[in-house]
Amino acid sequence: MNIILKVKQPGRKQALIENKVIVIEDIGSQPSAQRLIEAIVQQQVEEYNSKPLEKNILPFLSQSQTEEQAASGKINFGSIYNENKADFEQAKQTALQAFEDGMFAFFVNDEEITSLATILELQENSIITFIRLTFLAGSYW
């Protein structure tokens, strides 16, 4: 199933990820919010683990790559310096705990999801938006 992924952060003009089409495993048209988060985490872990570990002696970017990355507000060479592979079970537990702790807001087609048990209505190319929340001061308790 194709979905459109957006990741935003308050205080930034540009989205961290804007309208990225990703393919997740078929989870049906009415999965729970927990099942959708798990499927997205699984896809992201597989994508991360499949990236080759390139050791560029002299990395460089073309002019078009520089301009494209500058538009998003961050320019990097895309190198992965950590050679460890991501663990799906650990990533899944971290994502679910972060949602329960209110570390990010989660929207499906502009409808906020507040519970992992919520049953969602998904179609092909549904828009999934994550907003990373930042605590300004004080403790989280």
The per-residue pLDDT for 107 is 96
Residue 59 falls inside a structural domain: no
- CATH number of 33's domain: 3.10.20.30
Task: Supply the pTM of this predicted model.
Answer: 0.76
pLDDT tens per residue across span 77-102: 665 566 788 899 999 999 999 999 99
Q: Is residue 136 scored above 80 in pLDDT? A: no
Q: How many domains does the chain have?
A: 1
Give the domain extent around 106: 1-50+85-141
The per-residue pLDDT for 15 is 82
Report how far residue 138's alpha carbon sits from residue 107's, in angstroms, rounded to the nearest whole number. Answer: 27
As a whole number, the mean pLDDT across the chain is 85
Q: What value does the mean pLDDT take over residues 48-63?
A: 70
Q: Is 139 left (phi over 0), alpha (psi -120 to 50) or beta?
A: beta
Q: Which two tokens stand for residue 88?
A: 């799906």
